[in-house]
Chains A and B, each alone.
Chain A
């Protein structure tokens, strides 16, 4: 039953793309944070998280994502989410993630928007 959320990563220049697969609980959140911090440490300024294969999250996992967001903001970077289920979208908004991170319908839009934001001063 306990399957940690798996995270795949790809770096494209300044931007790191993360794809999650599975339940984002505290373990999953930490797995995502680990990959995200590695990318940030490696110079990534933009992060796009694609949650298409995640159907369920909990508030602890989300609070870890908030921590990641804070770190990104500290370094004047940009974080975007895409492919959220309507419920996860709603839950993110409840917890305030949408205030500082942007949510997009698909990966293409998210990437485009992040690149634009990074380019502008």
Chain B
């Protein structure tokens, strides 16, 4: 290194000229001015300026057509000669900001070279520094804005339980913060189906594409060439630049948030930046929590509504059961129904008829909720409307079947047992449409099964049922029941079953109809021992006295 003290400093003219040149046209880029000044001051025929661009050195001055040298030694800290030119490092504050290459320069003025190096280095350094300050200022402002916005967003999201409004809010905020023109938010159900979708400025991607978009968790993906190049496997044809992030909570993908076409102040479309990506990520986290809360809230309300509907429906069905038992000479009747909390569906009724006869009916309707309640009320209506017009029991059941086919809202069916007893003769006529076998207990022992005589009602068009007759002696008793009795389960998941019921009835010949009914149901209750049941337990007992 030449000692500075021994060289003559550049003349004052040098500095004056340099200043004039550099300030001549401040509108042109700094590198152009530096190149012009260097050429002029050094008398070089041509010059080149190289500046650092991340990891490499690139030509930074504009006039590079006629001379395109390569930078010889980026590590050089002193002037070197190479490729027919003098290369001067441009440094300040111990850092090399660039290199100046001068062709056709006389080596006899090393001070000139060094002065130029110092001058240009200082200017470059100052320029970089001022840019850094501006960036930092901008960064600071952005950070402040971010924090404010996140705070605002947090406030506005908190307590927003209405999912569509929340989605709108999240989308709107995302767009304004990234200066985007458009945005799309899609939320998914646990099943993967779309829960809701919101767009501002039009769809960025078709929903199905969004559903399969393989976005990395927690990271926003920038694609500033969205129109032509695919992002994570999906290509967008409807926007130029796009930024997207998957919204997740506890590892579960809730949805996708995408914004498109970032706008500069003059209205042109510019690239999304890393800052935008970070902002969006931060938002997505806040949004995820709020969205999940709103979703759970909505689910809870829906479940409440359904529960309430089931309760109401069950209430309606139960009210259809007779409030009093008929008093008919020669017969003793008893009936009881043990309801489950929500599911109704069991129906029974009595029909005192002329000539001392008694008709009785038990039915089990499939399904639950209001449609099932409507079906039970339809059956009730059907029987009451049709009974006086029917010639025989099979006629009645056919009429009920036809009535149901016409007036029942949904394809539902029911099992049914209709019996008609003539107390003076003891004749019991019956039709069982797919119902559980009724049990006929004989006074002096013995139990007979009265099996089904046809298919359930409402299953087949033009179904036909058979009527059977059995003679009941005084003291004989017939017991009708629904699935809820024989299918009651205990904690070992055993069913109560026909055998147990048969055994109970076997010991019941001395009991009244009422006692039989109560005893049977009590034993079912004891068997089940508090286990929740899913079907009403209904029993109807008719004894010929």
Contacts and interface: CB of A to CB of B under 8 A. Distances in A.
A8 to B, nearest CB: 16
Contacts of A119: none
A1 B373 CA distance: 11
B370 interface: yes
B332 interface: no
Question: Secondary structure at chain A's binding surface: helix, strand, loop or mixed?
Answer: loop
Contacts of B309: 1-2
B353 to A, nearest CB: 35
A65 to B, nearest CB: 26
A2 B312 CA distance: 12
A1 to B, nearest CB: 4
Contacts, number: 6
Interface in A1-52: 1-2
A6 B305 CA distance: 18
Question: Secondary structure at chain B's binding surface: helix, strand, loop or mixed?
Answer: helix
A1 B305 CA distance: 10
Contacts of A1: 309, 312-313, 370
Interface string A87-120: 0000000000000000000000000000000000
A38 to B, nearest CB: 15
Contacts of A2: 305, 309
A95 B115 CA distance: 99
A1 B309 CA distance: 7
Interface residues of A, number: 2
A9 to B, nearest CB: 16
A1 B312 CA distance: 10
B304 to A, nearest CB: 12
Contacts of B312: 1
Contacts of B370: 1
Interface string A43-83: 00000000000000000000000000000000000000000
Nearest to A1: B370
Interface in B292-317: 305, 309, 312-313
A2 B313 CA distance: 12
A2 to B, nearest CB: 8
Contacts of B313: 1
B75 to A, nearest CB: 70
A2 B305 CA distance: 9
A25 to B, nearest CB: 16
A2 B370 CA distance: 10
B399 to A, nearest CB: 28
A1 B372 CA distance: 12
A2 B308 CA distance: 11
Nearest to B374: A1
Interface string B358-383: 00000000000010000000000000
B530 to A, nearest CB: 32
Nearest to B305: A2
A115 to B, nearest CB: 31
Interface string B83-95: 0000000000000
B453 to A, nearest CB: 35
A78 B7 CA distance: 97
Interface string B303-335: 001000100110000000000000000000000
Contacts of B305: 2
A92 to B, nearest CB: 28
A29 B305 CA distance: 21
A1 B313 CA distance: 10
Nearest to B312: A1
Interface in B3-46: none
B88 to A, nearest CB: 70
B310 to A, nearest CB: 11
Interface in B251-308: 305
A9 B309 CA distance: 30
A2 B301 CA distance: 14
A1 B370 CA distance: 7
A6 to B, nearest CB: 15
A3 to B, nearest CB: 11
B364 to A, nearest CB: 22
A12 to B, nearest CB: 22
Nearest to B369: A1
B377 to A, nearest CB: 13
B198 to A, nearest CB: 18
B150 to A, nearest CB: 32
A35 to B, nearest CB: 15
A22 to B, nearest CB: 15
A1 B368 CA distance: 12
A91 B249 CA distance: 53
Nearest to B313: A1
A1 B369 CA distance: 9
Interface in B222-272: none
A2 B304 CA distance: 13
A96 B305 CA distance: 36
Nearest to B370: A1
A108 to B, nearest CB: 32
B332 to A, nearest CB: 40
A15 B541 CA distance: 68
Nearest to B309: A1
B315 to A, nearest CB: 12
Nearest to B373: A1
Interface of A: 1-2
6 shortest A-B CB distances, which residue pairs? A1-B370, A1-B309, A2-B309, A1-B312, A2-B305, A1-B313
Interface of B: 305, 309, 312-313, 370
6 contacts: A1-B309, A1-B312, A1-B313, A1-B370, A2-B305, A2-B309
